[in-house]
Amino acid sequence: MKYMTDDKVELDYCDQGQGQPVILVEGFGGYQEIWKLQVKYLLEMNCRVITYDHRNHGRSQRTAANLSIEQLTADLAGLIDYLKLDQPILIGHSMGASVCYDYLSHYQNVDAVMAIDQSPKMLNDVDWPYGFESITNADFSEKLNYPDEVHETLHGLDRRITLALNRVRSQYPFDRNQNMTLLFDHAQKDWRRILLKSSIPVTLVTARQSPYFDYHFADSLVDQNSLIKQVVVDNCGHDIIAEVPELFNQTLRHFIFSSTKKR
């Protein structure tokens, strides 16, 4: 299915099931197929599940216009309005979590947010050693332009997901170089204040062996806002949802039930 954004970019989305709406937001360079096993699980929990591809991602339209986190947030807000979703739950992975963080800075019409392996501040400094790898304000553009060869996972992706991802990647390849403007914008954001002020419950799911983030980044946030919870997943890397899907889905199940019990 297709949805037209406010700046006339066509996004591909999938809307399945009935019940509590849950929107799954992919990361930078991601594809909505990465959520395959979460979609199946959520449908069995009688949820309405929405996945979509960002502009320049997956089956969505390619464009050089408005490549920023703010625009991706506007795209998400527009999709929620277009589908007339009532108090959806947002679940974002990696950069998709940052889109969810930004959404909280503009809107309150969600039941809860889950952010998967994404520090709210990407740049490291003296007061925040929990950013992306070792990048700082002084060197992030160079390091992101010439990234280290890092394995995102500890053991590789679940084969059931790999097959679906490989198929769509070959048909709709992601051009990293054409999306560096978006990546640079993402890298310079700081969502800590938004999270600490949030009146919406936020669950931070972190990977103990993430190659990108020190999972301790959630500790100080949890201590300062009782609505922020942390779940640490062991024996996996950055792509928790696709590396240990059964283990992650148990966390997902508890999160969904705790987020909807007030309804």
pLDDT at 191: 98
CATH number attached to the domain at 1-259: 3.40.50.1820
Domain residue ranges in the chain: 1-259
Calculate the average pLDDT of the chain. Answer: 97
pTM: 0.98
The type of residue at 210 is S
Per-residue model confidence as pLDDT tens digits over 171-204 = 999 999 999 999 999 999 999 999 999 999 999 9
pLDDT at 183: 98
pLDDT of 261 over the 70 cut: no
Per-residue model confidence as pLDDT tens digits over 60-94 = 999 999 999 999 999 999 999 999 999 999 999 99
